[in-house]
Amino acid sequence: MSAMTHVQTTLNGEAVEFLCEPRQSLLEVLRETLGLTGAKEGCNNGNCGACNVLIDGALVNACLVLAVEVQGRTLTTIEGIAPPGGLHPLQRQFLEHAALQCGFCTPGFIVAAKALLDRTPRPSELEVRQWLAGNLCRCTGYDRIVRAVLAAAEEAQT
Amino acid sequence: MTTADKPTEFKVLGSTPLRQDGVDKVTGRAQYGADIRLPGMLYGAVLRSPHAHARIKAIDTRAAEAYPGVRAVVTAQDLPELESKVADLGEGSMNLRYQSNNILARDKVLYFGHAVAAVAAVNAHAAEAAAALIQVEYEVLPPVLDVRQAMRPDAPILLAELRTDELGQKGEQPTNVAAHYLDEAGDLEQGFREADVVVEREFTTAMVHQGYIEPQNATALVTADGQVTIWCSTQGAFGVREQTAEILRLPVSKIRVIPMEIGGGFGGKIGVYLEPLAVLLSRKSGHRPVKLTMSRRDVLAATGPTSGSYIKVKMGANRAGQITAAQATLIYEAGAYPGSPVGSAMGVIFAPYRIPNARVEGYDVVVNKPRTAAYRAPGGTNAAFASETVVDELAEKLGLDPLAFRLQNGVQEGDRRVNGVAYKRIGLLEVLRAAQSSAHYQTPLAGPNRGRGVAAGYWGNYGGKSSASASVNADGTVSLQEGSVDIGGSRTALAMQLAETLGLPIEAVRAAVADTDAVGETEGTYGSRTTFATGWAVYEVGQQLKTQLCERAARLWNVAAEQVQYAAGVFTSGEQRLTFAELAAQLDRLGGPVVASAAVQPKTWGPGFAAHIVDVEVDPETGKVQVLRYTAVQDAGKAVYPNYVASQMQGGAAQGIGWALNEEYVYDAQGRLLNANWLDYRMLVTLDLPMLETVIVEVPNPGHPFGVRGVGEVPIVPPAAAVANALYRAVGVRMAELPMAPGRLVAALQARQG
Amino acid sequence: MRAFEYHSPDSLEQTLTLLAGPGQAQPLAGGTDLLPQLREGRRPADRVIDLKRVPELNALTYDPARGLWVGAAVACYRLCHDPAVIQHYPGVVDGAHVIGAVQIQFRATVGGNLCNASPAADSIPALIVHTAVCHIAGPAGARTLPVEAFCVGPGRTALAPGEILVAVSVPPPAPHFGAHYLRFIPRNEMDIAVVGAAAAVTLAADGRSFVAARVALGAVAATPLLVPEAGAYLAGRPVTAETIAEAARLAQAAARPIDDVRGTAAFRRHLSAVLTRRALERAVERARA
Ligand SMILES: Cc1cc2nc3c(=O)[nH]c(=O)nc-3n(C[C@H](O)[C@H](O)[C@H](O)COP(=O)(O)OP(=O)(O)OC[C@H]3O[C@@H](n4cnc5c(N)ncnc54)[C@H](O)[C@@H]3O)c2cc1C
Ligand code: FES
Ligand code: FES
């Protein structure tokens, strides 16, 4: 095993440090080292969005980021989306709209949708579909996911 | 929602409570198979064949064993050698020796990606590096990649001992044809003589994958006493237990399978791939837990796909619009080992129609591609693509509306299938009428290069073994343990059926998926069976709880049990009255806990029918197809959990549209898979689909306490045909190949222009 | 994945020193090509040099006189949301914004797209028709190259060992200039171009004739392909369906596509003409606007 690098970040609002090898992806470190398994591995090459996380608010595939790259950065994962003691409007609307079957894609969609609503509070259906085009869902046909995001945008406004 | 027959009044069924596993799944807390981390856990990697067909001459694992951090290396030598024995895998059966050889190739590799050896090491990187050091000496053999090529007498033979199962008799010659089946009815020639219009066409369809987003994974721990625990993402924990026991020659009781949450299966997570390997590696590494996960590349190259096929269909109808005869030959790729779904495809192909004279033949053919696995209505999409486009053409030639033509010939109770079996109460006609009167079909479609297509679909559904148990808690709630893994809301649909049976609100029942040591045997979540069969087990549990609770109330009131009535959550006897919760609170004084369990194996599942309507727009210069509008109409029997029924319909439609337009395995001449990733294996993304409209029809299944029919599979049957029919209406070419990819569509348009 | 060292230098000088060290060094921009390649063992690396902290590579500036300067580590998302870029270089945006979905956009760079040198790279044809220039730094100093000369084969660039791409500059658009890039993909996102086509036109003031034009294709040859014949043909000719069709035919004739998993050579040849025509039509619309 090669030398470990020490990395400090802010993860879901808390200061976190970890040791990793340079070749380890952020996804691997989140899941295997930090025990945050909400980000999923569906493809490990940027094709599915199941591993989505936010780095300084930017939406990225954690499988295409080296863990060493997040030194000094602020990370948000699905585990950090909900306000204390509650659910984020997106989480609530995903449940209300039955926007998940197996739920494996769900963390990635919710993280992606949060990044969208942070920038575009009232997106159109087309904007939602464009923003989520890097997230695969094999179960739902996307209909309910898109509706849930639109409803969450509405909920957040009222 | 349209309802036929007498609607039954339900309180809980048909409502839309939030799913019970929902919060865990939207917060990232739900634990899927690969999320598990155990103390001292090792990570595995699998070495796979770069060849489609080769003899293994030698395997040298020494360098891998010597690699730092490696704790175990296994090859087929570590697996017991098995006799040929056929095991029922649900939605398809499997010879166990082949199953073992598919887990690790013994003397031959039969497809690109075939597993050859596996390694366990302290981390995934070390395991992967060590696996790459394993030296395999291959004698490369010519691959057979096409069913018709595989059937030729001079074709290279994949499995030396394979003999054709010829209508039940074993053949004599080595062959790639594993089986030949035949169904016949009436007098075919007479039927075609009676026809005024005959359409005959040939179709080919490519191999496609289930495409679940979660890769296969398995973690196993073998303790020093030989006790095995497996954590995995599977459609059926009991199936994993049985297959692992058979492959490793272990008593079933030594294996406990803990089903984790599962990220989609669609039939692809019934057979085992990694579980026996994880067990072998754990045993060999000194009883440490070992986790194996597949890469997406491995998933595509070595798991799942469903058969590509060659299908020939001939149908005739008279001027009155009556189908007089139909004939089909279906040749399905089994992949490396026998077991394509050609049998179920034969059942699908003419299922929606009354056909007096018919002949349907099927061939199961091995080729050097991954062993196929069940995929949602196995074989059905290919078959319906062929027959439903021919039906469309017949309707067109007769000048009839495609839905009206289907209605005229559509089956109902008492009509016989080609195999002679008569239908019980089914809902095809109701579905077709609902499609006719849908908002979509009633709205004309205008504009150049646009077209509307329809297609019908059938799936037989299934029953099978299911078990459940429940206990009444002192606060008046009920805890349900059931054996079906939950891939899309079934926990909640089962809790709803228990709540309905008990006359309680859904909030009073909490469902949990149990492991193989905690509940009776339950077949997997496949065959559209869970809400039907496990739902029935749950219903029986509810009935038993009611009986027991009535007895407890009788004891309290000092009356005979028969004098206690229970309805809508309240026990009564004369003036006496107790709510469910009030009685539950007193159980300790009345004999202690009330627990019930039930196991069922119902045979009265009811077939499901669907009709899909699609509008497309074609860019004739590029061949690109945009789906403008889509409506799926389906008979659910009773839609227990309607949101999730609709979601099944939408998801099935979406998969079918992807299959229609883009999805296909692309092999080179050597049999190497060229598109084992999601950039090149093109599943639909958000921008490729419109909203997907659904119309749920309810024609109760007389063979279920709540009228339930399975709903998960039939929605993938019609889409490819519906899209093909729409393309024809849009640009005037009939596509006979799946996928109807842009390049093929342009070529067809150019060919038509000459 | 093989183990490697990671460095994140904060100056160009330090970057070049690190690249010059022993063994194999791979620059890292967004990593959207590099990480999968490292994982699959397609690019060897002893050291990965992260370029994202190097100031020169992060510059994104527009000046009406000097044009656009895109640092090689500028992510597509930033580029495509820059008001000046949107206003003055919609053709560049056409190419850069279709690279992957939004997750990829936040990471992927035009520099990485160029240096990865895929024949199907989406940003390159648009840069070619804009007569963009690559700015290169290396042990032997700085140099420039026209974008069309940067890729020399699939996965191969004109960079010498130890050199990196610092930035791409794009000249200011002339009056009555318009450009467009489009590609054909079977889906509507998350696909690699089957064929891409870019066109840039400068029209006479009345918008009726071509003063100059450039056409470039992607995914039809070993590198993104400038089609000088098409531009030369259009220069001085009127803007008509016929002249555009002839330019499209010339582009099609220049295409040398192969059969691969994403499409057949015949389909690609067919698309070359269709897409070139559409690119020119849209470029003309933009030039007239
Ligand atoms: C899901 C997905 C979808 C994609 N879709 C598209 C698409 O639609 N169209 C498309 O064109 N591409 C696509 N790509 C490929 C990729 O995203 C692009 O090529 C992207 O522009 C690469 O940029 P990067 O910054 O990530 O490059 P990196 O991966 O960081 O680098 C790419 C290569 O260039 C080298 N390099 C990077 N910067 C420099 C430099 N300044 N000097 C010298 N060498 C350098 C690296 O060492 C590496 O070899 C896709 C990739 C993924 C994963
Ligand atoms: S796992 Fe990262 S995009 Fe699929
Ligand atoms: S819900 Fe299963 S992949 Fe989206």
Position B298 scores a pLDDT of 98
**Mind spelling out the 3-state secondary structure of B25-71?**
HHCCCCCEHHHCCCCCCEEEEEEECCCCCEEEEEEECHHHHHCCCEE
Query: Measured in angstroms, how far is the CA atom of residue C190 from the centroid of ligand 1?
Result: 14
The verdict on A122 touching C (C-beta cutoff 8 Å) is no
Q: With an 8 Å Cβ cutoff, are C184 and B666 in contact?
A: no
Q: Is the pTM of this model over 0.95?
A: yes
pLDDT tens per residue across span C155-200:
999 999 999 999 999 999 999 999 999 999 999 999 999 999 999 9
Position B88 scores a pLDDT of 62
Q: Helix or strand or coil: residue B563?
A: helix
CA distance B69 to chain C (A): 14
The verdict on B661 touching C (C-beta cutoff 8 Å) is yes
What is the pLDDT confidence band of residue A77, given thresholds at 50, 70 and 90?
very high
Query: Measured in angstroms, how far is the CA atom of residue B139 from the centroid of ligand 2?
Result: 36
What is the pLDDT confidence band of residue B213, given thresholds at 50, 70 and 90?
very high
Contact C179, C289 (CB under 8 A): no
Ligand nearest to the backbone CA of C32 = 1
Closest residue in B to A24 (Cα) is B125
Give the amino acid at B619: D
Q: With an 8 Å Cβ cutoff, are B682 and C1 in contact?
A: no
**Mind spelling out the 3-state secondary structure of C193-213?**
CCEEEEEEEEECCCCCEEEEE
The CA distance from B86 to B91, in Å, is 13
The CA distance from B297 to B315, in Å, is 41
Contacts within 8 Å (CB) and 24+ apart, C82-91: C85/C60, C88/C62, C88/C172, C88/C173, C89/C130, C89/C170, C89/C173, C89/C179, C90/C179, C90/C180, C90/C286, C91/C126, C91/C129, C91/C130, C91/C178, C91/C179, C91/C180, C91/C181, C91/C198, C91/C200, C91/C283, C91/C286
Exposed, middle or buried: residue A110 (CB in 10 Å: 0-12, 13-18, 19+)?
Answer: buried
Kindly tell me if the per-residue pLDDT of B3 is higher than 70.
no
Closest C-alpha among B81, B63, B80 to residue B119: B63
Q: What are phi and psi of B416, to 5 degrees?
A: -105, 145
Other Cβ atoms closer than 10 A to B135: 12
Contact C233, C244 (CB under 8 A): no
pLDDT tens per residue across span B657-671:
999 999 999 999 999
What is the sign of the dihedral through the CA atoms of B701, B703, B706 and B711? negative
Contact C237, C151 (CB under 8 A): no
Position B90 scores a pLDDT of 56
Q: With an 8 Å Cβ cutoff, are B26 and A91 in contact?
A: yes
- DSSP states along chain A: ----EEEEEEETTEEEEEEE-TT-BHHHIIIIIS---SS--SSSSSSS-TTEEEETTEEEEGGGSBGGGGTT-EEE-GGGSSPTTS--HHHHHHHHTT--SS-SSHHHHHHHHHHHHHH-SS--HHHHHHHTTT---SSS-SHHHHHHHHHHHHHHH-
Tell me, using a 6 A CB cutoff, whether residue A99 lines ligand 3.
no
Kindly tell me if the per-residue pLDDT of C245 is higher than 90.
yes
Domains identified in chain B and CATH numbers: 2-29+463-600 (3.30.365.10), 432-448+607-754 (3.30.365.10)
The CA distance from B496 to B275, in Å, is 33
Kindly tell me if the per-residue pLDDT of B254 is higher than 90.
yes
Closest C-alpha among A66, A59, A81 to residue A11: A81
Position B6 scores a pLDDT of 44
CATH number of the structural domain A89-157: 1.10.150.120
Residue with tokens 């590609």: C183
Closest C-alpha among B419, B307, B362, B369 to residue B178: B362
The CA distance from B156 to B440, in Å, is 51
Give the amino acid at B456: A
Please provide the size of chain A in residues: 158
* The Cα angle at residue B643 between residues B641 and B644, in degrees rounded to 5: 70
Query: Measured in angstroms, how far is the CA atom of residue C80 from the centroid of ligand 1?
Result: 16
Ligand nearest to the backbone CA of C27 = 1
CA distance C206 to chain A (A): 36
Tell me, using a 6 A CB cutoff, whether residue A136 lines ligand 2.
no
Tell me, using a 6 A CB cutoff, whether residue A135 lines ligand 2.
no
Q: Which tokens hold the place of B261?
A: 């949450």
Contact B146, B204 (CB under 8 A): no
Domain span(s) for CATH 3.10.20.30 in chain A: 5-80
Kindly tell me if the per-residue pLDDT of B4 is higher than 60.
no
What is the pLDDT confidence band of residue A158, given thresholds at 50, 70 and 90?
confident
The end-to-end CA distance of chain C, in Å, is 51
The CA distance from A30 to A39, in Å, is 8
Q: Which tokens hold the place of A140?
A: 């739902």
Q: With an 8 Å Cβ cutoff, are A2 and C3 in contact?
A: yes
Q: With an 8 Å Cβ cutoff, are B685 and C263 in contact?
A: no
pLDDT tens per residue across span B17-54:
999 999 999 999 999 999 999 999 999 999 999 999 99
Q: Which tokens hold the place of C241?
A: 């369906």
Axis crossing angle, helix A106-119 with helix A143-157, rounded to the nearest 10: 40
Give the amino acid at B683: M
Kindly tell me if the per-residue pLDDT of A121 is higher than 70.
yes
Average per-residue pLDDT in chain C? 97
Kindly tell me if the per-residue pLDDT of B425 is higher than 50.
yes
Position B83 scores a pLDDT of 72
The end-to-end CA distance of chain A, in Å, is 53
Quickly name the fold that domain A5-80 has.
Ubiquitin-like (UB roll) (3.10.20)
> Cis before residue B402, ω within 30 degrees of 0?
no
pLDDT tens per residue across span A15-74:
999 999 999 999 999 999 999 999 999 999 999 999 999 999 999 999 999 999 999 999
Average per-residue pLDDT in chain B? 96
Kindly tell me if the per-residue pLDDT of B94 is higher than 90.
no
Other Cβ atoms closer than 10 A to C79: 24
The CA distance from B461 to B481, in Å, is 24
Kindly tell me if the per-residue pLDDT of B2 is higher than 50.
no
Nearest CA to ligand 3 atom 3: A137
Position B8 scores a pLDDT of 66
Q: Can you name the residues that pair with A31 across neighbouring β-strands?
A: none
The verdict on A25 touching C (C-beta cutoff 8 Å) is yes
The end-to-end CA distance of chain B, in Å, is 48
Q: Which of C5, C103, C185, C192 should be substituted to probe chain A, the one whose Cβ sees the most A Cβ atoms within 10 Å?
A: C103
CA distance A11 to chain B (A): 15
Other Cβ atoms closer than 10 A to A142: 30
What is the pLDDT confidence band of residue B145, given thresholds at 50, 70 and 90?
very high
Q: With an 8 Å Cβ cutoff, are C6 and A52 in contact?
A: no
Give the amino acid at B577: R
Residue with tokens 């464009």: A130
The CA distance from B75 to B276, in Å, is 12
The CA distance from B547 to B596, in Å, is 10
Nearest CA to ligand 1 atom 46: C27
- DSSP states along B363-393: EEEE-SSPPP---SSTTHHHHHHHHHHHHHH
Kindly tell me if the per-residue pLDDT of C114 is higher than 80.
yes
Give the CB-side neighbour count of residue B473, counting CA atoms within 13 A. Answer: 9
Q: How far from chain centre, in Å, is Cα B568?
A: 37
Exposed, middle or buried: residue B518 (CB in 10 Å: 0-12, 13-18, 19+)?
Answer: middle
Tell me, using a 6 A CB cutoff, whether residue A46 lines ligand 1.
yes
Radius of gyration of chain B (CA): 27
Closest C-alpha among B255, B271, B190 to residue B223: B255
Position B84 scores a pLDDT of 67
- DSSP states along B629-693: EEEEEEE-SS-SSHHHHHHHHHHHHHHHHHHHHT----B-TT--BS--STTTS----GGG---EE
Please enumerate in sequence order all residues whose Cβ is within 8 A of that of C162, keeping only pairs 6 or more positions apart, or say none: C16, C19, C20, C138, C139
Tell me, using a 6 A CB cutoff, whether residue A63 lines ligand 2.
yes
The verdict on A140 touching B (C-beta cutoff 8 Å) is yes
CB < 8 Å to A39, chain C = none
The verdict on A149 touching B (C-beta cutoff 8 Å) is no
CATH number of the structural domain C177-288: 3.30.390.50
Tell me, using a 6 A CB cutoff, whether residue A138 lines ligand 3.
yes
Closest C-alpha among B2, B14, B19, B7 to residue B641: B14
Closest C-alpha among B364, B399, B434, B431 to residue B181: B364
pLDDT tens per residue across span B150-179:
999 999 999 999 999 998 889 999 999 999
What is the pLDDT confidence band of residue B180, given thresholds at 50, 70 and 90?
very high
The CA distance from B474 to B477, in Å, is 7
Tell me, using a 6 A CB cutoff, whether residue A100 lines ligand 3.
yes
Closest residue in C to B668 (Cα) is C261
Mean pLDDT over residues B57-86, rounded?
A: 93
Query: Measured in angstroms, how far is the CA atom of residue B712 from the centroid of ligand 3?
Result: 14
Predicted-complex ipTM score: 0.98
Q: Which tokens hold the place of B552?
A: 């407890």
Closest residue in B to A109 (Cα) is B26
Buried b (16+ CB within 10 A) or exposed e, A144-153: bbbbbbbbbb
Kindly tell me if the per-residue pLDDT of B318 is higher than 80.
yes
pLDDT tens per residue across span B700-728:
999 999 999 999 999 999 999 999 999 99
The verdict on A106 touching B (C-beta cutoff 8 Å) is yes
The verdict on B666 touching C (C-beta cutoff 8 Å) is yes
Q: With an 8 Å Cβ cutoff, are C271 and B622 in contact?
A: yes
Mean pLDDT over residues A119-126, rounded?
A: 98
The verdict on A121 touching C (C-beta cutoff 8 Å) is no
What is the pLDDT confidence band of residue B91, given thresholds at 50, 70 and 90?
low
Domain chopping of chain C, boundaries: 1-173, 177-288
Domain span(s) for CATH 1.10.150.120 in chain A: 89-157
Q: Please name the CATH architecture into which domain C1-173 falls.
A: 2-Layer Sandwich (3.30)
Nearest CA to ligand 1 atom 43: C164
The CA distance from B383 to B347, in Å, is 9
Kindly tell me if the per-residue pLDDT of B1 is higher than 50.
no
Tell me, using a 6 A CB cutoff, whether residue C217 lines ligand 1.
no
Q: What percent of chain B has a predicted confidence (pLDDT) above 90?
A: 95
The CA distance from A76 to A56, in Å, is 8
